[in-house]
Structure 1
């Protein structure tokens, strides 16, 4: 409200017509709504405070760590709390290639609408473990292009399921996901050791998979339903 009053005062001082003031106020209001469209990090985290484990055992976060991460069921979603390693796989770019990423692979498990691999420094995506006896993500209602909310340091970023990883390790996301959450995106030495929550909504799909706006709008809608369930 303070913003709108200040906006109107400035507009009158500049000699703008009432219609222009109304238009400016509408624009400001629409912007506010867009920013506040989805649930807060705290609201989402409150829904995943306890774990109903569905994985057959637990995952490592890295090769050298112990098995500490369970996959949990939360009704409309599944979730896990882990670290974030950086996935730079997909199409070659100046940020993601064999020189910047020692483990670079020029493909992703799921492809863009044009049939090409995802672009890791453009599309916020997460990596799910490949199907194994520990957990089959498909049996939990997840699939490529599925909608996920990733939470770190009180920030929420809506992403897609874009790639699969090792069968025994969990906690990985694309270069663009790290950037969106304020995490060091360097595939060689970036990421974070803990504090990341991954919430993936069952039977969901973002279309097209590479669209940030579609990932956000789909994720916000599903997250709102999840929080209110």
Structure 2
């Protein structure tokens, strides 16, 4: 039976208050992350739950075109995860930080769009790139969709993001300019990123609406992270 997407709107008021984070405003305006430790769940607690991998992908991914395929997608109760590098995605709306001059691989669109129909803004919204569906893994069949909540863990920091774009079918480990910046990773799309040490925990059957509301991603992400700790 296919589960209905868990949205912020569907969450009860009591559950939202239990997170200790105020619900997002109705405007859905994107906000710049104020801190890389978002919510109440620590990086250490999340990482303790993903020390072993029950592989759900049919194969493994490369972190870059020239590296060997060694990264599996792993399954847990309520989430899928992988451990990889972070390449910088600067696609979407043109801004001072993300455009043809700053990013050699720039594209003016993202796979998922914000509520007004425009592409996402990579330097404003923390989002994660998932590999396009292939024989290796089909993200949609695993309950992952645009706007799904992701806990991105780097060192002792947790940043909540959304699934915002899709990438090559054989490469994994990419997030938006805003995600990298919040985690203290160099966000330059041409020279930035980090070669390792990033864990991506994607909560299945979750969805933030509107997708561009980062405050809503924090609220829902914190609640799902607490649930993830309890169920694994």
The two structures have a TM-score, normalised by structure 1, of: 0.84
TM-superposed CA distance for 1:93, in Å, is: 0.3
| Contact 2:39–2:218 (8 Å) recurs in 1 | no
Distance in 2, matches of 1:183 and 1:89, equals 18
Q: What pairs with 1:152-191 in structure 2 (closer than 5 Å)?
A: 152-191=154-193
Match of 2:15 in 1: none
CA RMSD of superposed structures (Å)? 1.1
Gaps of at least 5 residues in structure 2 are: 1-19, 22-36
In the alignment, the residues of structure 2 paired with residue 57 and residue 205 of structure 1 have an alpha-carbon distance, to the nearest angstrom, of 26
Deviation at 1:39, TM superposition (A): 1.1
Q: Does the CA-based 8 Å contact 2:83-2:200 persist in structure 1?
A: yes
Distance 2:124 2:99 in 1: 14
TM-score of the two chains, using structure 2 as the length reference:
0.83
Aligned equivalents of 1:136 and 1:123: distance in 2?
A: 24
Moved over 4 A (4+): 33-37
Count of residues in Structure 1 that have an aligned counterpart in Structure 2:
197
| Structure-to-structure mapping, 1:122-137, within 5 angstroms | 122-137=124-139
Corresponding residue SS for 2:224 = helix
Write 1 or 2 for the structure with the bigger share of helix: 1
- Residue 60 (str. 1) matches residue 88 (str. 2): no
Deviations 1:18-67 (Å, cap 9, x if unpaired)?
A: xxxxxxxxxxxxxxx65884211011111111000011110000001000
1:107-122 paired onto structure 2 within 5 Å: 107-122=109-124
Higher relative contact order (CA 8 A, sep 6+): 2
Please list, as runs of the form range in 1=range in 2, the aligned pairs for 1:42-57 lying within 5 A after superposition.
42-57=44-59
Secondary structure of the residue aligned to 2:140 is helix
Say if 2:55 and 2:73, in contact at 8 Å, map to a contact too: yes
- Give SS of 1:65's match: coil
